Amino acid sequence: MIRVASADDGVAATTLRDGISALQAELGVSAEFPPEVEEAAAAAAANPRLPELDRTDLPFVTIDPETSMDLDQALHLERDGDGYVVHYAIADVAAFVAPGDPVDIEANKRGESLYAADAKIPLHPKVLSEDAASLLPEQVRPALLWTHKLDATGEGVDTFVERALVRSRAKLSYDGVQKMFDGEGFGDHDYSTSLELLKEIGEKRIALEAARGGVNLPLRDQEISVVGDQWSLEYRDLLPVENWNAQISLLTGFAAADLMVYARVGLLRTLPEPDPRDVQRLHRTARALGLEWPAEMLYPDFIRSLDGKNGKHAAMAIACTRLLRGSGYASFNGELPELTQHSALANEYMHVTAPLRRLIDRYAGEVCLALCADRPVPDWVTSAFTTLPDTMRASSRTSGAYERGVVDLVEAGLLSKRVGETFDAVIVEVDDEDKRKGAITVEDPAIEAGVISTAALPLGEEVQVRLESADVVARKVSFAVA
């Protein structure tokens, strides 16, 4: 993912925005909504369908990137004997969006929000996604309230979801919460005790993930800063709190999948087991990089041993992404699909925690609500089962193209005045068919790009590369081994 740390209205920022506008036109996407969609969203924002259950007594908080306004999730954690209770509130989009209304029709065209730089293309109009439906602080909001009971190891033992009114006490950032854990303390808030449990539960869930054989690649984000006519790009590692927070979302996705698989109706996020030939190929890559990978060590354990800041390890992590290809969605009603597992998570799993940003979460959440209430799944949900996987597959392709296009644009802008210079780089990928072609990472500036050479590229090795071209309009840079 690529994020914007800062931006202004200088030359570079203007170039960035002009380039993003051109990219949006190419992909046929827009942040603007048709007037009838905006009007329907505004009307819905003023008249939501509110539940009777009131859980505004629970001191929820949200934890997101600092500038985020589309807040899907809020959490509250507490001890329960030697175990825990996790309350997880998810924005109730269906309280505002009715099947077949203009907002619903438009959302089904979009599939998901697109994120890249500071040019987000939302799934829903902002009057909903960043206001009325968002779990903003000190606002009473309708939500899908998940209640998970965990044992002393952090393993889930019971789950229930219902509609409820909730109120977040604070909009917290990852950086801010990490500082609390690193020494600043949690202050005297009604949510302080809850927040302190995030690390404890998160680390136990991470240990369960490792024991289960889950995979978590150590890939780094790129972060943009655009000020005046200066571009900068740096690598960013995930903070520990981001991993702990992600475990609460994964816990909910596992619970949702369990409910739907047991009832034989619902949706699943799936990923097939890696092809053994790909695993063997990665063993050869590890040997070429000089990395020890004992034959008896399973690939998830090997991946957990990698450090993304190490050049050879970074090359290995990128090579391991081939094991995560082929993800998709499966729908079922009466008979389970042939593939139910998500191999990277080593579990059955379904997205349900980001309905403001991802269409399919709203449908999966409605299935789980119906199952917990012991009532039939609504027809408007099951009738969409045949189209939702294809809708999400198409939106995922668009999302990837959008994010990659913005990355290419920023890299070209950053390097546009440095053609002919040489840079220290690491070869992180080599083309299977032509060993003279591959990919590099440059640490300063934080660039990931293609490279060519007159000889076979040495995977994982440090090399000097020369910047041959940097075309902002074409969003393309080219390097050659010096």
Domain architecture of the chain: domains with CATH? 44-272+326-401 (no CATH), 276-323 (no CATH), 416-481 (2.40.50.140)
| More confident call, 308 vs 39 | 39
pLDDT band (50, 70, 90) for residue 9: low
Q: How confident is residue 1, by pLDDT bands cut at 50, 70 and 90?
A: very low
pLDDT higher than threshold 70 for residue 162: yes
Which range, 319-328, 372-381, 442-451, 460-469, is most confident?
372-381
Residue 235 burial by CB count (10 A; 0-12/13-18/19+): exposed, middle or buried?
A: buried
Mean pLDDT score, 153-157:
98
Q: How confident is the model at residue 226 (pLDDT cuts 50, 70, 90)?
A: low
Average pLDDT, the chain: 92
Q: Is the pLDDT of residue 22 over 80?
A: yes
Is 90 exceeded by the pLDDT of residue 480? yes
Q: What is the pLDDT of residues 399-416, one digit of tens each?
A: 999 988 988 888 898 888
Residue 100 CA to residue 133 CA, distance in Å, equals 18
Average pLDDT over residues 276-281: 86
Q: How confident is the model at residue 260 (pLDDT cuts 50, 70, 90)?
A: very high
Query: What does the pLDDT read at residue 11?
Result: 58
**CA 203, 320, 267 angle in degrees (round to 5)?**
65
Contacts of residue 393, defined as CB under 8 A and 6 or more positions apart, other chains included, come to: 328, 329
- pTM to 2 decimals? 0.91
Tens of pLDDT along 44-78?
999 999 999 999 999 999 999 998 999 999 999 99
User: What value does the mean pLDDT take over residues 353-360?
Assistant: 98
Predicted confidence at residue 10, as pLDDT, reads: 61
Rounded to 5 degrees, what angle do the CA atoms 261, 265, 270 make? 55
